[in-house]
Amino acid sequence: MKKFSLSKNERIKEKKIFDKLYKSGKIVLSKNKSIKAIYLAEKSQEPCAKIAIGISKKAGKAVWRNRLKRLIRNAYRLNKLQLLDLAKQKNLNIYVLFSSLSLNQINCPKVKYDFIELEVISLLELIHKKINSLFN
């Protein structure tokens, strides 16, 4: 597996996992409260970190939503090593679902990568701290 790729094995596709996330996942908000993440960590024999990105149709038109998803996916892909290391150290499956909270096409018609990357990094750091404190 390449270091900075995002393969199909690293994406959440099963409805069962989405249901678990919505039912018992923990919610964290980014620094500027524009992106939220729902995460879940559980013990496993084969540790991994999987993500999904869900943007509501109310957030904006398809082109804008797809750009936002692409930016979030790229920011995660380049900064995922910390989360993967935690999963391997503690033998965990970590599932994360990113979604926009206050970001929409009306408030922010031109989404910049730098802004999204800072938000995703802040979310990953929060998730890392919370999981680390839970499984110590």
Pairing assessment for the beta strands 92-100 and 48-53 based on DSSP bridges:
parallel
Please report, rounded to a whole number, the percentage of residues in the chain having pLDDT higher than 90: 84
Question: Residue 1 has what pLDDT?
Answer: 54
| pLDDT value at 2 more than 90 | no
Tokens of 11: 């994406």
| Cβ 52 vs Cβ 76: under 8 Å | no
Flag whether pLDDT at 4 surpasses 90: no
Which has the closest alpha carbon to 51: 85, 2, 18?
Answer: 18
Query: Domain-by-domain residue ranges, the chain?
Result: 8-134
Query: Average pLDDT of 105-115?
Result: 93
Looking at domain 8-134, its CATH class is alpha beta
- The model's pTM: 0.92
Instruction: Point out the least confidently predicted range of 3-12, 30-39, 83-92, 118-127.
Output: 3-12
